[in-house]
Amino acid sequence: MTDLRLERFELEGANVFCARLLGVNRFAQSRENAAALAERLVREQRDGLILDYRACTLDHTIEQFAEIAEIFIARVPKTCRIAYVYGPDNMMHALVMTKRLKAAGYPAAAFADWEGAEGFARKTGR
């Protein structure tokens, strides 16, 4: 996998933004994308977010990925439900991210499959 590609779409019948990441996600690019995504979630008043990392390779450490969580914590309303779909190589990244988000008061969870993430994102409230 080389360059990062993003597939962006809305979850049908829900106010949930989805992004599927394909390829290599580098730390500097991840920071930029997280800031732009946080801005978009606020601007579009989204109820939820699903990030699908199953076809993505992260070149940054788990600690660096935790820094990405801080971008969301600083900018996204705590009512936004955030779901991560992870692959075998980035499971720990997703778990650290959701642990940080949950500690900050977000409804957040990590899933090994799309169906679990979609069910979580479609729920309302906490």
Q: Is the pLDDT of residue 1 over 70?
A: no
pLDDT in tens, 79-113: 999 999 999 999 999 999 999 999 999 999 999 99
Residue 62: the pLDDT is 85
Topology adopted by domain 5-122: Transcription Regulator spoIIAA (3.30.750)
Q: Which of 18, 40, 35, 38 is closest to 85 using CA atoms? A: 18
pLDDT in tens, 33-66: 999 999 999 999 999 999 999 999 989 888 898 8
Higher model confidence: residue 123 or residue 45? Answer: 45
Q: Which of 106, 113, 115 is closest to 48 using CA atoms? A: 106
Q: Is the pLDDT of residue 124 over 50?
A: yes
Q: What is the 3-state secondary structure (H, E, C) of the chain?
A: CCCCEEEEEECCCCCEEEEEEEEEECHHHHHHHHHHHHHHHHHCCCCEEEEEEEEEEECCCHHHHHHHHHHHHHHCCCCCEEEEECCCCCHHHHHHHHHHHHHCCCCEEEECCHHHHHHHHHCCCC
Q: Tell me how crowded residue 126 is: count the other CB atoms within 10 A of its CB.
A: 9
Q: Is the pLDDT of residue 15 over 80?
A: yes
Residues present in the chain in total: 126
Residue 33: the pLDDT is 93
